Structure 1
Amino acid sequence: MMNCIGRGGFGAVYKGNLKDGTPIAIKKLSAESKQGTNEFLTEINVISNVRHPNLVRLIGCCVDGTNRLLVYEYAENNSLANALLGSRSRCILLNWEKRAAICIGTASGLAFLHEEAQPRIVHRDIKASNILLDKKLLPKIGDFGLAKLFPDTVTHISTRVAGTMGYLAPEYALLGQLTKKADIYSFGVLVLEVISGQSSSKSTWGHDMHVLVEWVTHFSVLASVPICSNCHAGINS
């Protein structure tokens, strides 16, 4: 029996169990998603060849007619977006030590993709909903459907702009020239979310259309930002 635990542009994600009882996350490609087929193949190509404690582990895949499934290790605490910015029932109490550990772990996973993986990998969609948290709140970067392989012989890749508004590096959004810096900018936005408890998603921009980076700049110093205003669980110092 499977329970739906999330949805995205790719399709739905379900919780299931292997025969030995091991919990797993099953990502099912939406039959209506033409883009999803490319994302499906990209994700298999990219994530099947890399292993790191801060990257979600691909257990297997299945293609049967129109059914396309990716099977991942299960993250007990869902995503950072739910833990930090979600509803009262999903929000998790994250003190500064836990928040710092999540940022450091995510940075470690990114550093592996950028500097150690062969070939190098640019994720292109670093955001809170793509950072999964296991039972110990260890962060794992997930959703490699937009990732690009980045050979050492190139300085940038000219490509269509892909990612999530509010997390896109300005130079990448304007010129379509992809470098590792695009991920680093997105990671910086993620850190601001972790510190401030505010979301950078388009749905939260408000009437002034300020994304989180502009909002923080407007208030000048992070000390004036109310912490975790969207997280009813609050924060312990």
Structure 2
Amino acid sequence: MARLFGGDQIEADTNKVVGTYGYMSPEYVVDGRFSLKSDVFSFGVLVLEIISGKKNRGFSHPDHCHNLLGHAWKLWTEERALEILDNMSDRPYSVSEVLRCIHVGLLCVQQKPEDRPNMSSVVLMLGSENSLPDPKQPGFFTERNMPAVDSSSGNHESSSINDLTISELYAR
């Protein structure tokens, strides 16, 4: 994305949206507007993915149809943010540091670019113990329409996204 910018530009309009779904900022996906705050959004998604051990794209939860950002926001507003953690029960961690990372991640994925911190502020937030502003609702906080399962068919096939395929290449 950096190639879109010239010299001292901090913002650009594009004709074609390119990037990885789940990491692109709302203003870029909807309006084709890319800025330095678009990278901040992507960083926030990565922070929440690392903490949860889950990907934003394809995330599912049995209680709702939010993506990972929506799930993190829901837990944050219900004061249950630590429930997003990857199964870390066997590894020691600092509760205050994890909560701070979640907080910073949510600040980075806010809907409006002007509400997101810049990356130098993110670095300071992660390295200090100063109080942080309250995050606002993340971008793409909508419930997805999931296809309904036909319970009358009796055909309930189990599936997992953890399947592994190994391909071996042999020279001729």
Q: TM-score range by the shorter chain?
A: 0.3 to 0.5
Query: Which is richer in helix?
Result: 2
Using the size of structure 2 for normalisation, the TM-score is 0.43
> Whose Rg is larger?
2
Is the strand fraction higher in 1 or 2?
Answer: 1
Provide the TM-score with structure 1 as the length reference.
0.32
Higher relative contact order (CA 8 A, sep 6+): 2
